[in-house]
Amino acid sequence: MRIGRVFISTALKRSQNNSPLASGFLTGKLTSGEDVEGTRFDRTNTAGAFHQSWYDKPGMHWAINKLQVVIKPHKLTLAGVSLRWLMYHSMLGEGDGIILGGSKFDQIASNVADIAKGLLEKVVVKALNEMWLSVKIEAP
């Protein structure tokens, strides 16, 4: 198990560098219309407006919605799929890792548990690759 490559840091929770969940966009909350007050997508602050300018785009929301359809039969979460793809299917090499942060311990614990599930199903990886081709032009 390669969980040793996951670095946990609550000190970096506000850092925009190495953001494995795209500053929270890959949780699906912005796309689903959930209340984003107090999050990185809250338009009442400069950072929130900045993050929305990166991710609040029709193509990005389309990709999230399509991914949710693909992962639902497998009982997966957007965050879990994102982290597992980074860990097991991306170009991370030996000695590379993922920096996790969160405002609550439960978020970090859940992320580590998701990563521990291992490789994603091939159909999910294929869907992710196809979605990337459709959004890479407007992705940050």
Per-residue pLDDT of the chain (140 residues; tens, 9 = 90+): 344 445 444 333 332 335 778 878 888 888 888 888 888 888 888 888 888 888 888 998 999 999 999 999 999 999 999 999 988 998 877 777 788 877 788 888 998 999 999 999 999 999 999 988 888 888 77
CA 1, 72, 139, 79 torsion-angle sign? negative
CA nearest to 26, candidates 97, 79, 62: 79
Cα distances (angstroms) measured from residue 111 to each of 64, 79, 86: 18, 7, 12
pTM: 0.78
Six-digit token string for 83: 């982290």
